[in-house]
Chains A and B, each alone.
Chain A
């Protein structure tokens, strides 16, 4: 089965521009997570969708970040306007449905965002 895919793999933009990252979870996975690793720091949780609903967005850094998951399938994460500190690797992960921490999260390859 195809794994979690992310697009693009790498994005280089200038400060003030807008970037949209996309994540396609494993088919049938209701849970979709976004994480971010800023250089030198740990991978941090951004938000969690259950189907099309935002279950937890406590990790979103500010209102320049907007995540959507229309129809409960793929998700997009838009950064507008991008700032230098947004540079990092953005990971998406998905897991099967249900309120169970036994559901393994499968990670995508990540999108490396560089803001100049």
Chain B
């Protein structure tokens, strides 16, 4: 069975500090990994996906198949980064049904 684990419910940092939101997954095939974000009073939206290998809003995430991890990183956190972050996995069936982690709330203080 596929599973996504986000060990931290809450991560609190100061503005300008580095951020790392952890995500580990369990899947027997070749999954696609995503990070979704939900800002206050907004809907869930895609932040980035591993296949794109891009940086969005200063965030990056590298898929480490050996450690089955897909941690989200940003070198310098901003207050506007405060949000709920969800790591998600899509199997290799061809359809993008998502399996989510429980989410990590990131709070960036001034």
Interface residues of A (CB under 8 A from B): 3-4, 31, 33, 35, 41-45, 48, 55-56, 91, 95, 99-110
Q: For the complex, give the distance between the alpha carbons of A104 and B44 in Å.
A: 12
CB atoms of B96 and A42 under 8 A apart? no
Q: For the complex, give the distance between the alpha carbons of A65 and B102 in Å.
A: 23
Query: When A101-B32, A102-B51, A107-B45 are in contact, do A43 and B86 touch as well, CB less than 8 Å?
Result: yes
Task: List B contacts of A56 (CB < 8 A).
Answer: 95, 97
Q: For the complex, give the distance between the alpha carbons of A103 and B86 in Å.
A: 18
Contact with A along B4-21 (1 / 0, CB 8 A): 100000000000000000
CB atoms of B102 and A31 under 8 A apart? no
Q: How many A-B contacts are there with CB distance less than 8 Å?
A: 55
Task: List A contacts of B100 (CB < 8 A).
Answer: 35, 42-44
Task: List A contacts of B45 (CB < 8 A).
Answer: 106-107
Verify if B69 is at the interface (C-beta below 8 Å from A). no
Q: Which of B43, B44, B46, B97 contacts A45 (CB 8 A)?
A: B97
Q: For the complex, give the distance between the alpha carbons of A49 and B51 in Å.
A: 24
Ranked nearest first, the 5 interchain pairs of A and B with the lowest CB-CB distance are: A99-B94, A43-B100, A107-B44, A101-B96, A42-B102
Q: For the complex, give the distance between the alpha carbons of A64 and B98 in Å.
A: 23
CB atoms of A45 and B95 under 8 A apart? no
Task: List A contacts of B44 (CB < 8 A).
Answer: 43, 91, 107
Give the distance to chain B from A116, nearest Cβ to Cβ, in Å: 25
CB atoms of B94 and A101 under 8 A apart? yes
Q: For the complex, give the distance between the alpha carbons of A4 and B42 in Å.
A: 13
Instruction: Considering the complex, give the chain B residue whose CB is closest to the CB of A33.
Output: B97
Task: List B contacts of A4 (CB < 8 A).
Answer: 43
Task: List B contacts of A109 (CB < 8 A).
Answer: 43
Among A35, A41, A42, A103, residue most surrounded by chain B Cβ atoms (within 10 Å): A42
Instruction: Considering the complex, give the chain A residue whose CB is closest to the CB of B31.
Output: A101
Instruction: Considering the complex, give the chain A residue whose CB is closest to the CB of B102.
Output: A42
Query: When A31-B95, A48-B97, A56-B97 are in contact, do A42 and B43 touch as well, CB less than 8 Å?
Result: no
Query: When A42-B4, A107-B43 are in contact, do A95 and B96 touch as well, CB less than 8 Å?
Result: yes
